[in-house]
Every structure is written in C-alpha cells, then in structure tokens.
C-alpha cells in the first residue's frame, strides 16, 4: 500500500524508534539522502558524535556542538569507534553516527585474505554493539547489497539488532521502507515523502 508521509512526522517516528531500539541502519543507493536523514535523526535525539569514513571523511558542514571524527583508514576508524565507546560510557554523548560502514575496509580486499577482512568487520561491529550495550544509540549508514536487498555487511550489522531502513529517490519522492532484518528482501512498511520537503527538513538543523 502506498502511503504519503510528512517529513516532520517521519523524523519524529524514527527518533522514537531509535530511542527504543537504540540501533538503526539506513541504507540504499547513492543520492538517497541516507547521510542527511541519519544526521537529522541523531540531532533530534540530542548531542551526537559523527564518524565519517571514505568520502564522508571530508564532511565538515556540521554544527559546532557535533563532535566529528574524520577517518582515512580502517585503523583510524577503529580507534575512533573505540573512543566513541569511551565517550558514551562517560556520558558525554548517547548517539553515535557511523557513515559509512565498511568503506575503509574495501581497499584492504586487494592485499588481505577474506578471513582477515571478516575479522576486521566483526571487530568493528562488536565495538558498535558495545556502544548499544552501554546505553548508547548507534545509527549506521551503509551501501546496498544488490544480492540480498539489504545493507552491505549484513552478517555483521545483525549483531546490532537494528531497525532496518532503506531509502531510494524515485520521481521526486523519497521512498522510505522498513525491511525485515532476518530477510531484507521482505518489505514491512513503505512511506513516500516529497523530496523537496525532506531536503528542507534535513538541512534546517545544520545551518550555522
């Protein structure tokens, strides 16, 4: 069933879901507002910490009260996630946004065995899970795996037991889909939000 949703109502709903689940994964094709929505949900939940990986390591347009970690390698990313865990345990922040999961792992595929890659991804997923176990909240932005219809690194993402959200822009609208974590090809619900309204909402809070 096709449903039209207001951008404000959607943001409010996702903020409530994050408070309950404490883990959320937002994925989809490039240009689907994944990062913008993740930041908006995090901001609505209070002060947050942002970890940018890959091309998102250069993201600088964020308010001064957002703590930003820019990573250029998996090693630095892992250190930042570990530091984020310490910040959550100390009560400085409750929400951590990781954007984008596995981006810094990809370059290692050319030089390391797959078993090592798996251990790297598993280590990071376990640290993110520890943030949730420490009463923190984690929003992870991911690319899409065309084979499964789910996020990249699904086997590791499942450790977080998150709310799974897929975004796609179609004909001037953002299609927002809740997917089943066990079988991401299964659609649980779908909303459509006007693209212009979504962009306005996602940019309003980030203006200096």
Binning the chain into helix, strand and coil, the percentages to the nearest 5 are 45, 25, 30
- Asked if residues 146 and 139 have their Cβ atoms less than 8 Å apart, the reply is no
201 in a structural domain: no
Residue 207 has pLDDT above 80, yes or no: no
| Averaged pLDDT score across all residues of the chain | 90
65 in a structural domain: yes
33 in a structural domain: no
199 in a structural domain: no
Name the domain count of the chain: 1
Residue-number span of the structural domain to which 137 is assigned: 7-22+44-89+99-185
110 in a structural domain: yes
pLDDT interval class at 57 (50, 70, 90)? low
pTM (predicted TM-score) = 0.93
Q: Residue 50 corresponds to which tokens in the numbers above?
A: 């942002």
Tell me what percent of the residues of the chain surpass a pLDDT of 70. 94
Q: What is the mean pLDDT of residues 13-33?
A: 95
63 in a structural domain: yes
CA distance 62 to 134: 26
Place of tokens 């962009």: 199
Residue-wise pLDDT for 62-87, tens only, equals 777 889 998 989 999 999 999 999 99
29 in a structural domain: no
Residue-wise pLDDT for 157-188, tens only, equals 999 999 999 999 999 999 999 999 999 999 99
- Asked if residues 100 and 141 have their Cβ atoms less than 8 Å apart, the reply is yes
1 in a structural domain: no
């Amino acid at each position: 069933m096709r449903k039209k949703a207001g951008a404000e109502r959607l943001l409010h709903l996702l903020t409530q879901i994050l408070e309950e689940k404490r883990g959320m994964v937002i994925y989809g094709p490039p240009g689907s507002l994944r990062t913008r929505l993740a930041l908006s949900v995090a901001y609505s939940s209070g002060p947050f910490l942002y970890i940018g990986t890959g091309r998102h390591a250069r993201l600088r347009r964020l308010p001064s009260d957002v703590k930003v970690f820019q990573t250029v390698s998996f090693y630095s990313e892992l250190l930042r996630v570990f530091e984020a865990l310490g910040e959550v345990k100390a009560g400085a922040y409750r929400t951590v946004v990781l954007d984008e999961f596995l981006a810094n792992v990809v370059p290692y595929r050319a030089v390391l065995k797959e078993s090592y890659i798996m251990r790297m991804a598993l280590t990071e997923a376990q640290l993110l899970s520890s943030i949730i176990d420490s009463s923190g909240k984690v929003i992870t932005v991911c690319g899409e795996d065309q084979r499964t219809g789910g996020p990249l690194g699904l086997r590791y993402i499942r450790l977080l037991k998150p709310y799974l959200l897929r975004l796609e822009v179609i004909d001037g609208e953002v299609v927002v889909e809740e997917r089943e974590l066990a079988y991401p090809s299964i659609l649980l619900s779908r909303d459509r939000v006007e693209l212009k309204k979504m962009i306005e909402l996602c940019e309003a809070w980030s203006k200096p």
